[in-house]
Amino acid sequence: MIKNDLFLRALSNQPVERPPVWMMRQAGRYLPEFRDIRDKYDFFTRCETPELAAEITMQPIRIIKPDAAILFSDILVVPRAMGIYVELKDNLGPIIPNPIRSLEDVNKTIIPDVNQTLGYVFEAIKITKEMLNNEVPLIGFAGSPWTILCYVVEGKGSKTFDTAKGFCFSNPIAAHTLLQKITDTTILYLKGKIKAGCDVIQVFDSWGGMLSPVDYQEFSWRYINQIIEAIADDTKVIVFAKGCWFALPAMSNSKAAALGIDWTCSAENARYLTGGQITLQGNFDPSRLLSPIPKIKKMVHQMINEFGTDNYIVNLGHGILPNIPVDNAKAFIDAVKEYNP
């Protein structure tokens, strides 16, 4: 049994003494210990070496002590497994030298044997579970099919992903074929993660907000929902779709256990749009962690008051920034633990 099960209870709509708390990208560049490893090994070496991935996952558990661990990895391990060459360099972001731009390109991608191509992730999970020693739950994750498509078609990061959107609108058959291949691979991958020991799965739709509400249903949500339907009987699923407040009503009527909220959507609106029943997660502005520590604690307590203590997981509205002082990150976690209704 997991000793600190606050996170799991919140996902099951059970009573909790206080809301659980963790941070997206909590195993990351704001930690000096992470930077020490980063300086020795390139990004995908860190991802693909189980012992390194497990150690990085454990760093925030020791240092800032959140209520859940999230496995160190990257959403782009999925397209790499599908035969799409991806580079990722610190301070540059993802680079796909040969982006997908045609149905012929799509047909060259594969739905892989995930045990062969992504077995290193499953091994990292097993090592991490041993290191966690049942202290807190372990979260596994994947990117949404739409978000993966954005990178592999655009060929790099973007503020608008116009090339990726144009590909979908001008060549919908190729786009949907690619999205389905990514979806099928992701389902196999996440089932492998659950089997290896992940207690919860989160799906990140980082670029869903690039789409209109109608296009979001066609090119993103339908594929995310396939993933939820495929694994919801095996574990709890959290969906975090940045900039997609408009999709919250549809999401809340799925088998997702919780929905992540970014900082542009108020607690009041999030509760209203989701019918007030589903567990919500969020939504502190990551940049606000640069505020003075007393201000951080005051704002965190106010955020909990607005969301309510039930059916709520405290988190950021996106990943923690690399320039956040460790003491400020710890203050965020501590503020939740110190909360008194």
Looking at residue 213, which CATH number applies to its domain?
3.20.20.210
Per the CB < 8 A criterion, the answer to whether 241 and 205 are in contact is yes
Please classify residue 312 by burial: count the beta carbons closer than 10 Å to its beta carbon, then call 0-12 exposed, 13-18 middle and 19+ buried: buried
For residue 29, which amino acid is it? R
Do the domain assignments include residue 323?
no
- Tell me what the pLDDT averaged over the chain comes to: 97
91 HSE (CA, 13 A, CB side):
4
Do the domain assignments include residue 269?
no
Do the domain assignments include residue 137?
yes
Percent of the chain residues past pLDDT 90, beyond the cut: 97
Quote the CA–CA distance of 214 and 258 in Å, as a whole number. 22
Percent of the chain residues past pLDDT 70, beyond the cut: 100
Quote the CA–CA distance of 122 and 232 in Å, as a whole number. 19
pLDDT, tens digit, for every residue of 44-76?
Answer: 999 999 999 999 999 999 999 999 999 999 999
Do the domain assignments include residue 217?
yes
Quote the CA–CA distance of 339 and 215 in Å, as a whole number. 41
DSSP letter for 27, please.
S
Q: Cβ contacts of residue 136 below 8 Å, gap of 6+?
A: 2, 3, 4, 7, 61, 66, 67, 68, 69
Quote the CA–CA distance of 166 and 237 in Å, as a whole number. 30
Among 233, 248, 321, 250, which residue's Cα sits nearest to residue 280? 248
> What's the confidence (pLDDT) of residue 91?
72
**Which residues on adjacent β-strands are paired with residue 259?**
239, 280
Among 147, 38, 35, which residue's Cα sits nearest to residue 94? 147
Quote the CA–CA distance of 201 and 157 in Å, as a whole number. 24
Do the domain assignments include residue 241?
yes
Do the domain assignments include residue 57?
yes
Do the domain assignments include residue 306?
no
Per the CB < 8 A criterion, the answer to whether 181 and 111 are in contact is yes
pLDDT, tens digit, for every residue of 22-44?
Answer: 999 999 999 999 999 999 999 99
pLDDT-wise least confident of 93-97, 281-285, 321-325: 93-97
Phi then psi dihedrals of residue 96, to 5 deg: -115, 100
For residue 231, which amino acid is it? I
> What's the confidence (pLDDT) of residue 93?
87
Binding-site residue ranges: 25-29, 44, 74, 151, 206, 318
pTM value surpassing 0.95: yes
pLDDT tops 70 at residue 147 = yes
> What's the confidence (pLDDT) of residue 277?
86
Mean pLDDT of 315-326: 98
For residue 138, which amino acid is it? L
Quote the CA–CA distance of 198 and 261 in Å, as a whole number. 22
Residue 78: both structure tokens together: 């999925």
Domain containing residue 223 = 6-258
How far separated are the first and last CA of the chain, in Å rounded?
28
Per the CB < 8 A criterion, the answer to whether 56 and 31 are in contact is no
Number of domains in the chain: 1
Binding-site residue ranges for substrate: 25-29, 44, 74, 151, 206, 318
Among 263, 304, 266, 298, which residue's Cα sits nearest to residue 284? 263
Per the CB < 8 A criterion, the answer to whether 166 and 154 are in contact is no
> What's the confidence (pLDDT) of residue 217?
98
Quote the CA–CA distance of 148 and 154 in Å, as a whole number. 10
User: CA angle, corner 37, sides to 32 and 41, nearest 5?
Assistant: 145
Mean pLDDT of 258-286: 97
Beta strands in the chain (DSSP E): 69-70, 87-89, 93-95, 138-143, 200-205, 236-241, 258-261, 279-284, 312-316
> What's the confidence (pLDDT) of residue 92?
77
Catalytic residues: 25, 29, 38, 74, 151
Do the domain assignments include residue 37?
yes
> What's the confidence (pLDDT) of residue 278?
97
pLDDT tops 80 at residue 89 = no
Q: CA–CA distance from 138 to each of 242, 270, 278 (Å)?
A: 22, 26, 21
Residue 172: both structure tokens together: 């919908």
pLDDT, tens digit, for every residue of 148-203?
Answer: 999 999 999 999 999 999 999 999 999 999 999 999 999 999 999 999 999 999 99
Q: What is the DSSP string of 131-188?
A: HHTTSS-EEEEEE-HHHHHHHHHHSB--SS-HHHHHHHHH-HHHHHHHHHHHHHHHHH
Residue indicated by tokens 């997660």: 281
> What's the confidence (pLDDT) of residue 90?
66
